[in-house]
Amino acid sequence: MPPPLYSVLDKFVSIRVKVLLAHGAKVNGRFTELRTTSLMTSSFHGHGEVVRELLSRGARVQAVDKQGSTALSYAFGGGYNNSV
């Protein structure tokens, strides 16, 4: 079970993501060099609420980064097997 502060952080991040998406942020936008997506990054850091929000807004689960990794790979790499 995550510490209480972590749970609040996840909610805070989730609220910020919702606001950004409401103002036109691209749910499948890529970070330049590694070609990662917000779904990949959120999966790696275990931000379950953010992952659910991105998925509900059409985030591509099968998207791959420059090295061929998916959000599922990132979740396992970050040690968040329960996020999958």
- Domains in the chain (CATH in brackets) are 4-83 (1.25.40.20)
- Give tens-digit pLDDT for 19-53: 888 999 999 999 888 999 999 999 998 888 899 99
CA distance 46 to 84: 10
- State the pLDDT at residue 84: 57
- State the pLDDT at residue 80: 77
| Residue 59 scores a pLDDT above 60 | yes
CA distance 36 to 71: 9
**Which tops the pLDDT comparison, 34 or 82?**
34
Do residues 15 and 36 lie in contact, with contact meaning Cβ atoms separated by under 8 Å?
Answer: no
Cα-based angle 43, 45, 47 (whole degrees, multiple of 5): 70
